[in-house]
Amino acid sequence: MMSIMRKTAANARAAAKAATHERILSVAARAIRRSGYAGTGVADIMREAGLTHGAFYAHFASREAMLAEAAGEACAKSAATAFELAAGASPDKALATMLAAYLSKEHVEQLESGCPLAALGSETSRQAPEVRRVVTRHIKATVDLLARQSPDWGQPSAHERALVTLSTLVGAVVLARAVDEPGLSDSLREAAFKHLSSIAP
């Protein structure tokens, strides 16, 4: 009986720790997209998560380890959104649906919950190898998802078109967020959508 109670208590502690870890990651994933890697401090993350600074090292070996996991969390959410959009549309409309959502005004305005590539791309080259590895995997997976929407998927042409599509999407959102003229921001998004739609098979 005591053994069962100890095991139950241990399981409860492990579940509580896992839930806390996920809470920290959720906060950190939003923070890095909102403030950038450099602007995301451990103390701020822990405070926003409702925890003490000292509790950090029960969950992460270092700030870099937290940033890598936070980048992974942000990338996973972005990938899930893209998969849901593709799965929810008919095969001939999946790519257009994904393009429209990515280049929407709502996405441009949702910095802390949007695509981490657009929010963090220019900073990533200066991050630790584990952060860059997470982002690289996400880029490759996104390129593959985009290529799968083409009837010539599996051919070099589909892969190359997907590379151009992702580069255009991310660049358009980065610029649309950067400018201080709403009209220009809209024009950047709309021009990118028009161009990408014109090269879609």
Residue pLDDT, tens place only, 146-163 = 999 999 999 999 999 999
According to the model, what pLDDT value does residue 59 have?
A: 92
Q: Is the pLDDT of residue 143 over 80?
A: yes
Cα first-last separation, the chain: 66
Does the pLDDT value for residue 10 go beyond 90? no
When the pLDDT of each residue in the chain is averaged and rounded to a whole number, the result is 92
- pLDDT tier, 53 (very low <50, low <70, confident <90, very high otherwise): confident
Gap between the Cα atoms of 131 and 143, Å rounded: 19
**CATH value at residue 34:** 1.10.357.10
Give the domain range for residue 152: 2-199
> In this structure, what token pair is assigned to residue 178?
């950067």
Residue 94 makes CB contacts below 8 A (sequence gap 6+) with: 85, 86, 87, 149
The predicted model gives 133-155 an average pLDDT of 95
Q: What pLDDT sits at residue 9? A: 55
**Domains in the chain: how many in total?**
1
Q: How far is CA 51 from CA 42, 48, 55, in A?
A: 11, 8, 7
Structure token digits, residue 175: 């610029």
**Global pTM value:** 0.87
pLDDT of amino acid 16: 79
Q: Are 94 and 149 in contact (CB under 8 A)?
A: yes
Is the pLDDT assigned to residue 1 strictly greater than 90? no
